[in-house]
Chains A and B, each alone.
Chain A
């Protein structure tokens, strides 16, 4: 969520620079100064608040006896079944923002092409570690 916010900030900044440039050079074009900035600001705020919320709303996972179910996507809804015995190795990763909020993501690597890494983001770090420890036991020697 916070990451999307930062991305949005960058876009607003870019639009602001554009506006400033047109104002300074004086050949402002069709739109009065500030309009571009404003429109993009409004759009970006909606995106920054709305998109992560929707994304969160549609993100589901559940760990079953023998498989990991994932469901996600706002426009493209994807359901994934990862058989635990197909897992090659596991990562728990935390970037600087995630560390601040003690979150983490679980990355599940399989031998598949498209799903060589299946990411489970925004987990509580303890939950991520717990999942990893549970799933770890299912890794078998020869999964291909």
Chain B
């Protein structure tokens, strides 16, 4: 039997403070806010200098001491059973987080902390979806120590200190890790290239809006001599100019997508650690996160037509007690081949994709087609009163009909040994793998339109599911829906006994 080699909590568990560098970091982080206040007074010409003077005084008298006070009044300690955090300047807060309730400890390093080798420790419990306890910032060593204590507690199921009777003596974490996936930089760049999002471009433009570049200066700059032929060409053919503008925007957003993606998934690594999987990712912000396997509610594979044409997929897990910013979803494989995914999937869930998936009733296509056409007609009618070319939306009808048909074709479901598999989406392809033993509540729904066509939808609710895209099998024939519900429920009962 080897010695149990986890860091034990300090015997009398005295209070610790955050790393002193926190002061400096909070100060630097407060500067942009201060600058924004100054900028506001600076930009409005009729307000005199006293406004910014007051802002500066307020900043010096209130904000700076507050940074210190917050630091001084923040204490934490980790005992054998719980993590205790005391915080607050005016309102004192005393928070006890029992170690057994801790689902997840993540160590996050943003750019600034990385320069000073500190990290923020975020403790997530099952009761909430946001981090319950945040220690910002502690030294990297301390962060690892806290995580190890929690992990060690989890491993031996309670008793940590003193003579520990470990059921199976285990080696250190590093040894029991099994590498599942490591993405090289080429793969990350490629994955960015496949992801097309207008989101970032919108952010860039809203930032531009904020700085409000002087239009006159801009035009002057644009109208410099060498651009003259170009400007003339634009004047001559506005359609081409518009096309070029759209193309430029698309290129720009494509490029920014690649950069953002690189920042997010640089050095993405995924390990299997027996009862959990751990991942590390990021360029500027390195985050480490471990996902307990029994907390995984579903596995979701996402793709789009271009990606899937080249056999690329991204895999996510839906879990509880996870960061709410990620909608309860954590990426476990940003960009993998199907075969690679299948390998990783084995470590996450027992649900495999059955060889045969069933389609829903073909009336699904008809219903979607009706819905789209109705929407287009509504828009057209509205436009009739305001625009000469009111009939243009009608051109959308044929492609929308095609889309309805494709969506029906893409919507499939199947039952495997241990779970339900549902596929949906044409542009945004998604596939859920939902184990029977994680199902929560079962629904069948029938709207007034479905009733006429003898259709029903089946919906299975799970913990941590997103409210927008969840596991619903739309438009089954009524008797099929009833049968499916029955099968699902009986298998659920069998798997949760």
Measured CB to CB, the residues of A under 8 A from B are: 66-67, 75-83, 85-86, 110-115, 118, 144
Chain B residues, Cβ within 8 Å of A115: 440-441, 443, 461
Closest approach, in angstroms, between the C-beta of B323 and any C-beta of chain A? 16
Contact across chains for A113 and B445 when beta carbons are under 8 A apart? no
- A77: chain B residues within 8 A (beta carbon): 445-447, 451
B442:A114 contact, CB within 8 angstroms: no
- Residues 408-439 of B at the A interface (beta carbon under 8 Å): 438
Partner of A83, one of B441, B444, B466: B441
- Complex: how many Å from CA A75 to CA B447? 6
CA distance A77 to B450 in the complex (A): 10
Contact of A113 among B438, B446, B464, B493 (CB under 8 A): B464
| A144 near B463: Cβ-Cβ < 8 Å | yes
Question: Within the assembled complex, what's the spacing in Å between the Cα atoms of A67 and B492?
Answer: 12
20 contacts between A and B (CB under 8 A): A75-B447, A75-B448, A76-B445, A76-B447, A77-B445, A78-B443, A78-B444, A79-B445, A80-B442, A80-B443, A83-B496, A110-B440, A112-B441, A112-B462, A113-B462, A113-B465, A113-B466, A115-B443, A144-B320, A144-B463
Q: How far is the CA of A66 from the CA of B470 in the complex (A)?
A: 25
Asked if B372 is at the interface of the complex by the 8 Å CB criterion, the answer is: no
Q: CA A80 – CA B442 in complex, angstroms? A: 6
8 A Cβ contacts from B457-497 to A? 459, 461-467, 470, 485, 489, 492-493, 496
In the complex, which residues of chain A have a beta carbon less than 8 angstroms from the beta carbon of B438?
Answer: 144
Q: Take A76-B445, A76-B446 as given contacts and tell me if A112 and B465 are in contact as well, using a CB distance cutoff of 8 Å.
A: yes
Tell me if B349 counts as interface (CB < 8 A to partner A). Answer: no
Chain A: which residue is nearest B472 at the CB level?
A114
B465 touching A79, Cβ below 8 Å: no
Q: Which positions in B face A, CB cutoff 8 Å?
A: 126, 295, 297, 320, 438, 440-448, 451, 459, 461-467, 470, 485, 489, 492-493, 496
Residues of A within 8 A of B464 (CB): 111, 113
| Alpha-carbon distance A103/B465, docked complex (angstroms) | 33
List chain B residues, Cβ under 8 A from A66.
493
Closest to A71 in B: B444
Contact A112 B461 (CB under 8 A): yes
B443, A111: Cβ atoms closer than 8 Å:
no
Give the interface centre of B442, B445, B464, B467 by most chain A CB atoms within 10 Å: B442
Whether A114 touches B444, Cβ cut-off 8 Å, given contacts A66-B493, A77-B451, A83-B492, is no
| Least CB separation from B441: chain A residue | A115
Q: Which partner residue on chain A sits nearest B493 by CB separation?
A: A66
Considering the chains assembled together, what is the distance between the CA atoms of A32 and B438 in angstroms? 61
Contact with B441, one of A75, A76, A110, A144 (Cβ below 8 angstroms) = A110
Judging by beta carbons under 8 Å apart, are B463 and A112 in contact?
yes
Q: In the complex, what residues of A have CB within 8 A of residue B467's CB? A: 113-114
Which residues of B are found within 8 Å of A114, using beta-carbon distances? 441, 443, 459, 461, 465, 467, 470
In the complex, what residues of A have CB within 8 A of residue B461's CB?
110, 112-115
Distance in Å from the Cβ of B475 to the closest Cβ of chain A?
Answer: 14
| Contact in complex: A76, B496 (CB < 8 Å) | no
- Besides A79-B443, A83-B492, 13 other CB < 8 A contacts? A66-B493, A67-B489, A77-B445, A77-B447, A78-B443, A81-B442, A83-B441, A110-B440, A110-B441, A113-B462, A113-B467, A144-B297, A144-B463
The smallest beta-carbon distance between B356 and chain A, in angstroms, is 26
Q: How far is it, in angstroms, between the C-alpha of A81 and the C-alpha of B493 when the chains are bound? A: 12
Question: With the chains together, A83 CA to B448 CA distance in Å?
Answer: 27
**Residue among B440, B459, B467 with the most chain A CB within 10 A?**
B440
CB-CB < 8 A to A118: which residues of B? 441
What distance in Å separates the Cβ of B445 from its nearest Cβ neighbour in chain A? Answer: 5
- Using CB atoms, name the residue of chain A closest to B321: A144
Q: How far is the CA of A76 from the CA of B448 in the complex (A)?
A: 6
Asked if B441 and A82 sit within 8 Å, CB to CB, the answer is: yes
Query: How far apart are the CA atoms of A67 and B485 in the complex, in Å?
Result: 14
Q: Provide the bound-state CA to CA distance between A28 and B240, in Å.
A: 53
B451: which A residues are within 8 A, CB to CB?
77
User: Which chain A residue has the least Cβ–Cβ distance from B297?
Assistant: A144
Tell me the nearest residue of chain A to B461, going by C-beta.
A112
Q: Which residues of B contact A75 (CB under 8 A)?
A: 447-448
CA A67 – CA B493 in complex, angstroms? Answer: 10
Q: How far is the CA of A85 from the CA of B440 in the complex (A)?
A: 9
* Across-interface contacts of B445 in A (CB, < 8 A): 76-79
- Assembly CA distance A104 to B428 (angstroms): 44
Which residues of chain A come closer than 8 Å to B462, judged between CB atoms? 112-113
